[in-house]
Structure 1
Amino acid sequence: MSQAPIRALIFDVFGTLVDWRSSIAREARQLLQPLGHELDWEGFADAWRGEYQGAMEEVRSGRLAFQKLDRLHRRNLDIVLERLSLEGLDESTRQQLNLAWHRLDAWPDVGPGLQALRRHFLIAPCSNGNISLMVDLARRNGWHWDAILGAELARDYKPKAAVYLHAVAALDLHREQVMMVAAHSSDLEAASAAGLRTAHVARPDEAGPGRGESAPTVAVDYTAADLRDLASQL
């Protein structure tokens, strides 16, 4: 692989930078418990997230025209609520619940890690999340991006090559000057196939205890325990 200097880091967000499972469980509990509902809150988060890839595949395959992840999340929410016999929730509650994805908390290492990395590199999300979602997560968690890139601008969803290549083009860089940072080997494999450099960040408890990746399952340029470790390596 080319040894051209890395100029920019682009990041997966859900799971890599934010703890979606605990955050969604918390948000669902805060909204639904006062209405008299008692659920397995982490199980609810898992069920909602479980519809994620299938919904995006409808877009990636061309069966569904591109739409923002907020709209896909809402479609998936309605599916899960019906499955749990909670279809009686009013529209206002559904809207507030859908915006839970805008209120996710970062893993503890992310704030200082991004701050350290930004001293030396351009940094930007390259997420399947829409721009308003990325803006809200950045403001909530105190992140300072140089750009917001990803699916909404590319009008497609990862791991389609167009999403990574659109990010590279937006920064006016060459592929080998941009590194994709993610906790998911499938994301990194696709980015590498598109010509980008890659770094894996371990999130072993992303989907629950021991239900995340502690190490990559594909070849990558860097492996890191967290973002602070990645900053130290780079």
Structure 2
Amino acid sequence: MDILIIEDEQLGVEKLMRLIKSIDESIQIVGNTRSIKSSVEWLMQHEHPDIILMDIELTDGQSFEIFSHLSIKSMVIFTTSYDEYALQAFKVNSVDYLLKPIKKEELKNALDKFQEWQLKFSSPSVNIKELINGLRQQQPKSWRSRFLVKQGQKLVSIETSEIAYLYAEGRLSYFITWDKQKFVLDYTIEELEEMLDPQQFYRANRAFIIHIKTVSQIHNYFNGKLKLELQPATDKEVLISREKAAEFKDWMGK
């Protein structure tokens, strides 16, 4: 097994090397890059390894940008100090997502997972694209657990369980917490819909995503529509279209 390490901190590189060798001395570490630029250059000049251990926060940005520069033919184990990128990580060639400090057992499990998948999909007729697609189908969906948002001059982490509803207004998106605090988000409503657990959050219409517990009353409205009252209250009209009414009732009743 060949591994490329993309990590910008020397101590982090050294620790990963020690962990890898303690797991399996036969693993070959074929290189170490420390930025988006150097990683893209390395991958353009070398045969892609079996696995890339990829830190998300690099000196010149987030490593997800590497995927926009070239087609990566390796599987990736992401390493990071934050869990807010998990959903984005599983949209690319991700085997696993490990939070720092990396533990030997977790890294070994990730490497074992890759080898199991490799054996399962090993066939002369299976190419790398089919392998990646097969792995993605086996990966559990990961829902957003928190958002990092601005509060005055500081940043605060708000768990999604604290959110009553989210809405779009103009070009911006906001969410309201159960204690009536309002925060702005750097995502569209469409992007937020993909991030949130559909068992807890529902896309009511083009502007609103609501938590199941925020609905205080449901009223029949004109032309088969439903009108919702939310708690905390909002001065905006929240309507469910006739086409979505049955689906919404089913969601509320689960």
Instruction: Report the TM-score when normalising by structure 2.
Output: 0.26
Is the strand fraction higher in 1 or 2? 2
Larger Rg: 2
| Greater RCO, CA 8 A, separation 6+ | 1
- Structure number with the higher helix fraction is 1
TM norm structure 1: 0.27
